[in-house]
Structure 1
Amino acid sequence: MDKISIIAIIGGFSAIIAGQAMEGGSVGSLLQLTAFMIVIGGTLSAVMLQSTPKQFMTGLRMMRWVVAPPAFNHESMIREVINWSQSARRGGLLSLEGFVNMQRDPFTRKALQMLVDGGEPDTLRSVMEVEITMFEHARRQAAKIWESAGGYSPTMGILGAVLGLIHVMENLTDPSKLGAGIAVAFVATVYGVGAANLLFLPIGNKLKNIISGEVAMKELVVEGIVAIANGENPRIIETRLRGFLAMHE
């Protein structure tokens, strides 16, 4: 559980509500269903239009990572790679066959299987780097829907404000209807700008950081497996991997 994300979300909205109350405004005046529908509905539609179904659905599923990110234990992976290298040093590459089916990550399992099958170091690196590139591209395209939402949301807020003002202009002769139109106009702007800067853009950046962690883990595996294929000493491999990890922290 990512507690800092939960604190940040609650803190951001609480600050806005508290500020409204301190200025003597009614908190209820910030609750406008019409403005919400215009901003959130319009933003959602724009993001769906620019995305493929797979990108859109993957991006939505990734939202849970904001509060429950996937765990990356780089230290554990380094220890596992060292274990592989020691086993290969004692019994050859075929001794690693028993480790292949123990891997839950498909990428690690594939890389280890290629090593057991006697893949050349350069071939191993080139094949797995292509997989990493494709994986990263797909992940970043899915996460990009949140950055796009952060771009569209303020514009939808302005659109809501214009629609609210149109409603005001249409009812200048009926003062009882002016308040509702003005409220929609200003609250829509608050929703658009607030959603972009408190939710959509921060979520997009958070997901990009998590994706970088995923990619670093996969690159760590490739570095270790290529080093094993080159027959390097386990202590040298450990030093290399720790240096690689330090570069990506």
Structure 2
Amino acid sequence: MDLGLIVGLALAFGALLAMISMEGASISALLLPAPMVLVFGGTIAVGIASGTLRDAMQAVKSLGRAFRGDRRSPRSVIATVVGYAEKARTEGLLSLEQGVSDEKDPFLRQALQSIADGIDAEDLRVLLEDEIASAAARNRTASRFFMTLGGFAPTVGIIGTVVSLTHVLEKLDKPDTLGPLIAAAFVATLWGLLSANFIWLPIGGRLQRLGELELERMTVLMEGMLAVQAGAAPTFVEERLSALVSDAAKPGKGKSKNKTDKVGSTRDGTPPLAGFGS
């Protein structure tokens, strides 16, 4: 579980509270119901209107993931794929079907079942690439929704301020009340900027980054399972996948035993992978 979003938001609002305290202001002066209803309600409303209801529902469902983070990093799946490579080399590809029911990752489970069913390597790549494309589209939709809210919120806040200032102008005959009214008018702008930069944009950016990590993990799984299907040596699979992951610990020098020799075969007798990694 990655607590980056929770920690970041806590520090951001903590800094805001610290400033309010150091300025000697009152937090209750900012917690005005009217501007908050307009900013949050209006922002979410126009965000929904700018897309589809299905997009909004999908974005709401992704909130849990934004706070929780992904439990499986791209690097963490390398050992799993290497394990399947060892099993396939010793027991055959049909043995992979035994792990289908126990595998929790639906993407990996689909790859295992397809390999056990004897699907062609090229067809398997097309199938898995389609799944990756679908996941990318879902991630973009959720991230874009919150980014859109972050774009609308400051403008909605300004609208609230203009409405409040219109009310202030009606009270020019009462100078003693103008100060508090003007201060309250700018609360809407404050909440518009605050919600955009402290809530919506961080959530949107977080979902975008989690989506990138998910696609990286799925790409690692795809290339790894294609290598398993081709009968690659586990050491080669590990080195190949480690090279694909940006933060993975690279294997030590001389660890691999399957370097390609001049005649086009690997030193451990494994034939080279046609099209692997293309």
- Shared fold per TM-score greater than 0.5: yes
Asked if 1 retains the 8 angstrom alpha-carbon contact of 2:73 and 2:213, the reply is no
Q: Relative contact order: is structure 1 or structure 2 higher (C-alpha 8 Å, sep ≥ 6)? A: 1
- For 2:165, the equivalent position in structure 1 comes to 165
Q: Distance in 1 between matches of 2:114 and 2:53?
A: 33
- For 1:82, the equivalent position in structure 2 comes to 82
| Identity in percent | 35
> How far 1:165 sits from its partner (Å)?
0.6
Q: Distance in 2 between matches of 1:228 and 1:7?
A: 40
Aligned CA distance change for structure 1 residues 182 and 105 (closer, same or farther; 3 Å) = same
Asked if 2 retains the 8 angstrom alpha-carbon contact of 1:120 and 1:229, the reply is no
Equivalent positions of 1:58-137 (< 5 A) are: 58-137=58-137
> How far 1:195 sits from its partner (Å)?
1.0
Asked if 2 retains the 8 angstrom alpha-carbon contact of 1:2 and 1:69, the reply is yes
Q: Distance in 1 between matches of 2:140 and 2:176?
A: 49
Residue 199 (1) aligns with residue 188 (2): no
Q: Distance in 1 between matches of 2:139 and 2:24?
A: 45
Q: Distance in 2 between matches of 1:10 and 1:114?
A: 45
The alignment covers a number of residue pairs equal to: 249
Ranges in structure 2 where 5+ consecutive residues have no aligned partner:
250-278
Higher helix share: 1
- RMSD over equivalenced CA pairs, Å: 2.0
Asked if 2 retains the 8 angstrom alpha-carbon contact of 1:59 and 1:142, the reply is yes
Ranges in structure 1 where 5+ consecutive residues have no aligned partner:
none
- For 1:214, the equivalent position in structure 2 comes to 214
> How far 1:6 sits from its partner (Å)?
2.6
Q: Structure 2: which amino acid aligns with 1:186? A: F
Q: Distance in 2 between matches of 1:167 and 1:231?
A: 75
Q: Distance in 2 between matches of 1:219 and 1:21?
A: 49
TM-score (norm 1): 0.92
Q: Secondary structure at the match of 2:69?
A: coil
Q: Secondary structure at the match of 2:68?
A: coil
Higher alpha-carbon Rg: 2
Q: Distance in 1 between matches of 2:248 and 2:51?
A: 30
Q: Secondary structure at the match of 1:8?
A: helix
Q: Distance in 2 between matches of 1:234 and 1:109?
A: 19
Q: Distance in 2 between matches of 1:155 and 1:79?
A: 49
> How far 1:78 sits from its partner (Å)?
1.5
> How far 1:75 sits from its partner (Å)?
4.3
> How far 1:248 sits from its partner (Å)?
8.4
Q: Distance in 2 between matches of 1:28 and 1:247?
A: 45
Q: Structure 2: which amino acid aligns with 1:213? A: L
> How far 1:52 sits from its partner (Å)?
2.2
Deviations 1:150-201 (A, max 9, x none): 0000001110110011111122223465345423321111101111111111
> How far 1:46 sits from its partner (Å)?
0.7
> How far 1:81 sits from its partner (Å)?
1.2
Residue 183 (1) aligns with residue 183 (2): yes
Residue 5 (1) aligns with residue 5 (2): yes
- For 1:48, the equivalent position in structure 2 comes to 48
